[in-house]
């Protein structure tokens, strides 16, 4: 069964902390994505990786960075967490063909206090 | 570059009525189009997809979407709404080739309310 696993379902961090959100997929997919989901704003792409060590900025990359050292793992890093980064974070993966959809993890609800 | 616009953040229908959720896309190359559904407190799951094999995409739970290139639209329909269809629906576009590597872009989402 296809699986995208995010390391935490709920996370509470303090302002200024460095935060790591981890995502692992077991489908050998080339593409991996990080989105944040906020009410009324839909899913906004933060970063996208189409291969190991390759990345593209999405629509809202400010305040975030990513790391993809291995094909199966894609990490989102909040360098210095702020309260406006409180959100639901979704990881997804897809293969390098358009005929196959992206598969999503269950999400991490991050609260920055 | 690709983009998606979903018209209407909230749609309310009566049980048994037609469901129509609107999605318009922009893409510089032939697109791949998807509709996802998210039930409360759950992750996203694929409802249906268009990948150029046929202009009418059929999905789960009786949903369909027709790809209309001339209108750059991919509207989601269901002939008769059921209470269990209440959820948030997202339209998404991706593209490959001509420098596109499959970046997946979502619309703002439409919340469907079904009234008894």
Residue A88, phi then psi, degrees to nearest 5: -95, 130
Mutation site for B-interface testing, chosen from A31, A47, A98 by largest number of B Cβ within 10 Å: A98
**Would you call A45 and B103 a contact, using CB atoms and an 8 Å cutoff?**
yes
User: What torsion do the CA atoms of A27, A29, A35, A41 make, to the nearest 10 degrees?
Assistant: -90
Mutation site for B-interface testing, chosen from A9, A57, A101 by largest number of B Cβ within 10 Å: A101
pLDDT of residue B52: 77
Of A40, A41, A104, the CB nearest to B44: A104
A99 in reach of chain B (CB within 8 A):
yes
Confidence check: pLDDT of B62 > 80: yes
CB pairs under 8 A between A and B: 67
How many other CB atoms are found less than 10 A from the CB of residue A31? 24
B35 in reach of chain A (CB within 8 A):
no
Model confidence pLDDT, tens digit, residues A21-65: 999 999 999 999 999 999 888 899 999 999 999 999 999 999 999
pLDDT of residue B1: 76
pLDDT of residue B10: 96
pLDDT of residue B99: 67
Of A40, A44, A94, the CB nearest to B102: A94
Question: For chain A, where are the E strands, in sequence order?
Answer: 4-6, 10-13, 19-25, 31-38, 42-51, 54-57, 64-70, 73-78, 87-94, 103-104, 108-112
Largest Cα separation within chain A, whole Å, is 41
DSSP-derived secondary structure letter, A99: T
How many other CB atoms are found less than 10 A from the CB of residue B30? 14
Among B104, B47, B49, B53, which Cα is nearest to B78's?
B47
Cα angle: B39, vertex A101, B45; to 5 degrees = 10
Residue A81 binned pLDDT confidence (cut-offs 50, 70, 90): very high
Confidence check: pLDDT of B97 > 80: no
For A71-106, b where at least 16 C-beta lie within 10 A, e where not — what string?
bbebbbebeebeeebbbebbbbbbbeebebbbbbbb
SS3 of A37, please? strand
């Amino acid at each position: 069964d296809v699986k995208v696993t995010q390391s935490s379902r709920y996370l509470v961090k303090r302002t200024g902390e460095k935060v790591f959100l981890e995502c692992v997929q077991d489908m050998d997919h080339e593409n991996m994505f990080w989105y944040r989901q906020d009410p009324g704003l839909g899913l906004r792409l933060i970063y996208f990786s189409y291969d190991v060590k390759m990345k593209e900025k999405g629509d809202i990359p400010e305040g975030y960075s990513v790391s993809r050292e291995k094909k199966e793992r894609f990490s989102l890093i909040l360098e210095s967490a702020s309260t406006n980064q409180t959100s639901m974070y979704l990881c997804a993966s897809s293969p390098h063909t358009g005929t196959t959809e992206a598969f999503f993890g269950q999400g991490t609800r991050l609260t920055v206090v | 570059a690709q983009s998606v616009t979903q018209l209407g953040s909230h749609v309310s229908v009566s049980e048994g009525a037609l469901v129509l959720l609107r999605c318009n896309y922009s893409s510089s190359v032939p697109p791949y189009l998807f509709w996802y559904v998210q039930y409360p407190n759950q992750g996203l799951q694929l409802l249906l997809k268009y990948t150029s094999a046929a202009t009418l995409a059929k999905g789960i739970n009786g949903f369909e979407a027709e790809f209309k290139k001339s209108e750059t639209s991919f509207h989601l329909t269901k002939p008769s709404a059921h209470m269990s269809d209440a959820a948030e629906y997202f339209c998404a576009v991706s593209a490959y080739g001509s420098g596109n590597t499959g970046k997946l872009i979502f619309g703002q989402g439409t919340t469907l309310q079904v009234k008894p």
